[in-house]
Amino acid sequence: GEDVEQSLFLSVREGDSSVINCTYTDSSSTYLYWYKQEPGAGLQLLTYIFSNMDMKQDQRLTVLLNKKDKHLSLRIADTQTGDSAIYFCAERAGTNAGKSTFGDGTTLTVKP
């Protein structure tokens, strides 16, 4: 079945770059996502990438996809204290709406 794995914690200094990594097992994963969850809140979609892409950049966010190794990463440039949150990697197979499988999240702590 589908499985998504993430490291649990990452700590960086304000102004540094953060890199959050994710691996997935489902080779039919077509869409991959990064969501952010702040305390007491739901998940916020940050960005997504299709499986036929290698990279996607959106302002301070860069997503890299290595489909051969089933590895996804999220780089946050110039990390700020407001970026402190839990980041979830998720995958979805198929087209249109359908279930997504989420990892257990990486807690990013940004120190001033």
Partner 1 sequence: DAGVTQSPTHLIKTRGQQVTLRCSPKSGHDTVSWYQQALGQGPQFIFQYYEEEERQRGNFPDRFSGHQFPNYSSELNVNALLLGDSALYLCASSPRRAGFYGYTFGSGTRLTVV
Which spans of this chain sit near partner 1 (rule: CB under 8 A)?
Answer: 4, 30-31, 33, 35, 40-45, 48, 50, 88, 90, 92, 95-105
What is d(CA 15, CA 18) in angstroms, rounded to the nearest whole number? 9
| Residue 103 identity | G
Query: Hey, what are 87's tokens?
Result: 């980041």
Residue 8 or 77: the one with the smaller Cβ distance to partner 1 is 8
* Nearest-approach distance from CB 94 to partner 1, in angstroms: 9
Beta bridge pairs of residue 55: 64
* Nearest-approach distance from CB 81 to partner 1, in angstroms: 22
Residue 59 or 95: the one with the smaller Cβ distance to partner 1 is 95
Residue 14 or 102: the one with the smaller Cβ distance to partner 1 is 102
* Nearest-approach distance from CB 92 to partner 1, in angstroms: 7
What is d(CA 105, CA 88) in angstroms, rounded to the nearest whole number? 4
* Nearest-approach distance from CB 13 to partner 1, in angstroms: 25
DSSP 47-80: EEEETT-SEEEETTEEEEEETTTTEEEEEESS--
Residue 72 or 88: the one with the smaller Cβ distance to partner 1 is 88
What is d(CA 98, CA 112) in angstroms, rounded to the nearest whole number? 40
